Amino acid sequence: MISLTRHLLERPRFQAGQAGELSVLMTHIARCGKLIARDLNRAGLLGTLGAAGTTNVHGEQVQKLDERANQTFVDVLEESDTVRVVISEEMETPWAVTRAQASGTYAVFLDPLDGSSNVDVNAPLGSIFSVHRMDASGNFMKRGREQVIGGYLLYGPGTILVYACGDGVHQFTLDPAVGEFFLSGSGMRIPPRGKVCSVNTGNRSKWDERMKNAVESFQTDDPGTGPPYAARYSGCLAADVHRILWKGGLYLYPGEVKKPAGKLRLMYEAAPLSFVVEQAGGLGSAGDERILSIQPAAPHQCVPLIIGSCEDVERVERCLKP
Ligand code: AHM
Ligand code: MG
């Protein structure tokens, strides 16, 4: 059994720099996962389910647990003394960490509770994180490929932490009795082609003709492309991408005719998950451009997302070509 602590100690990348700052940061992200998993486990008993009564920067209804997960990250990352700024789906403006201003060198982008429409029904939830090193001028708005760490926590039957840091993808499972994450997967490779397509087809009427045809081609029995793909859609991006990481397949959240950038957010959803998926041999695409090549213009900007097995993503890209 290799604990997360032991794993980080064995990786030179995490020990380099001032007092192994990256290792400290990763340990604190894992602590957020433990605290949020605990809060989710007890939410039905403590009255913390349901809406908070406010809307976030994207105009979406905020859940009480969205707020709680966001506050957990802010408090724990502040205490880590490694982070200078936190950018979160649940905070309109980037939050500058006062305590660590002198020493922290990282910016952390967060979707603190991904899939929050699942909160009230005990369905899977996640936390998605992306770590960037700030440069001397304090810039943190960098392309996805410049991430130092991309990853997610998944709160399902078990709590899982998955991260990529330039040497493949590593997965840890929380042993709740011990309170430690232990290595449960390393060097995962996404099959070049999958059998499952995850997309909210309820939005079909909002897509352009090319996207409608692309999705339909995965639902059709065709001698050229094979049998139709099975439909799976959890309402939690982290959960759907996690299935792809192990079994291959495709997840799409397309842009819409009236909302070309779609719903998902570049910096704390599309980019970190593309970073993980690409280090496992898959692809993350916006249709006409790789997600990891996009130069961000705003912290909360949205982007269409097509992510998963290489051949499946390329097949969608071909369908979308004018
Ligand atoms: P959230 O971070 O506010 O929960 O929104 C992101 C979620 C994804 O996890 C999920 O795939 C998608 O939004 C579901 O949206 P929809 O209900 O429109 O299909
Ligand atoms: Mg989300």
Which residues, including other chains, have CB under 8 Å from residue 181's CB and lie 6 or more apart? 3, 4, 30, 33, 161, 172, 173, 174, 175
In a shared domain, residues 75 and 143: yes
Check residue 161 and give its pLDDT.
98
- E strand segments, the chain: 51-55, 61-63, 83-88, 95-96, 106-114, 125-133, 149-155, 159-164, 169-175, 180-186, 196-198, 230-231, 250-253, 283-285, 305-308
**From the CB of residue 189, how many other CB atoms can be counted at a distance below 10 Å?**
13
17 assigned to some structural domain:
yes
**pLDDT score at 122:** 94
The pLDDT of residue 102 is above 70 = no
Q: Which ligand neighbours the alpha carbon of 253 most closely? A: 1
Judge if 21 and 151 occupy the same domain: yes
Question: What's the order of all strands across the beta sheet hosting 283-285?
Answer: 230-231, 196-198, 250-253, 305-308, 283-285
For residue 239, give the ligand 1 atom closest to its CA. 9
Query: Tokens 């009236």 identify what position?
Result: 258
Q: 205 and 166 share a domain?
A: no
Q: What is the pLDDT of residue 293?
A: 98
Same domain, 177 and 201: no
Does residue 67 belong to any structural domain of this protein? yes
Which range of residues forms the domain containing residue 163? 4-186
CATH code where residue 226 lies? 3.40.190.80
Same domain, 138 and 225: no
CA distance 68 to 294: 31
Tell me: do 219 and 267 sit in the same domain. Answer: yes
Q: Is residue 191 part of a domain?
A: no
What's the gap in Å between 113 CA and the centre of ligand 2?
7
Q: Does residue 116 line the site of ligand 1, with CB under 6 A?
A: yes
DSSP 229: P
The dihedral through the CA atoms of 161, 164, 165, 171 has a sign that is: positive
Q: What is the per-residue pLDDT for 196?
A: 98
Give the Cα separation of 219 and 59 in Å (integer): 32
Domain identity same for 181 and 202: no
198 φ, ψ (degrees, to nearest 5): -110, 115
Find the 190 Cα to ligand 2 centroid distance in Å.
Answer: 22
Among the bound ligands, the one closest to the CA of 62: 1
How many whole angstroms separate alpha carbon 76 and alpha carbon 250? 34
For residue 145, being part of any structural domain is answered with yes
Res 13 pLDDT > 90: no
The helix/strand/coil state of 87 is strand
State both tokens at 271: 């980019």
pLDDT of residue 112: 98
Say if 134 falls within a structural domain: yes
Domain of residue 85, CATH code: 3.30.540.10
48, 68 contact by CB (below 8 A):
yes
Structure tokens at 88: 């979160």
**101, pLDDT greater than 70:** no
Structure confidence by residue, pLDDT tens digits, 161-204? 999 999 999 999 999 999 999 999 999 999 999 999 999 999 99
Q: Could you give the angle at the alpha carbon of 32 between the alpha carbons of 95 and 292, nearest 5°? A: 65
pLDDT of residue 186: 95
Q: Tell me the mean pLDDT in the region 210-233.
A: 95
Provide the b/e sequence for 137-167 (b: ≥16 CB within 10 Å). Answer: eeebbbbbeebbbbbbbbbeeebbbbbbbee
Question: Does residue 100 carry a pLDDT above 80?
Answer: no
- The pLDDT confidence band at residue 20, using thresholds 50, 70 and 90, is confident
pTM here is: 0.96
Does any domain span residue 139? Answer: yes
Mean pLDDT of 300-314: 98
Do 11 and 145 sit in the same domain of this protein?
A: yes
DSSP 8-state class, residue 116 = G
- Judge whether 44 lies within some domain: yes
Question: Does 308 share its domain with 202?
Answer: yes
The domain boundary, picked from 186, 219, 241, lies at 186
Q: With a 6 A CB cut-off, is 55 part of the ligand 1 pocket?
A: no
Do 114 and 59 share a structural domain?
A: yes
Give pLDDT tens digits for 41-53.
999 998 899 999 9
Total number of domains in the chain? 2
**Is the Cβ atom of 57 under 6 angstroms away from ligand 1?**
no
Residues 157 and 247 in one domain: no
Which residue from 73, 114, 267 has its CB within 8 A of the most atoms of ligand 1, so it is best to mutate? 114
In this prediction, residue 99 has a pLDDT band, given cuts at 50, 70 and 90, of: low
Q: Given 186, 220, 240, which residue is the final one in a domain?
A: 186
pLDDT tens for 60-92 read: 899 999 999 999 999 999 999 899 999 999 999
Residue owning the nearest CA to atom 17 of ligand 1: 235
Domain boundary among 133, 153, 186: 186
Mean pLDDT of the chain: 95
Task: Say whether both 169 and 264 belong to one domain.
Answer: no
d(CA 165, CA 23): 11
240-273 pLDDT, tens digit per residue, is 999 999 999 999 999 999 999 999 999 999 999 9
Three-state DSSP state, 248: coil
Hey, what are 84's tokens? 């200078």
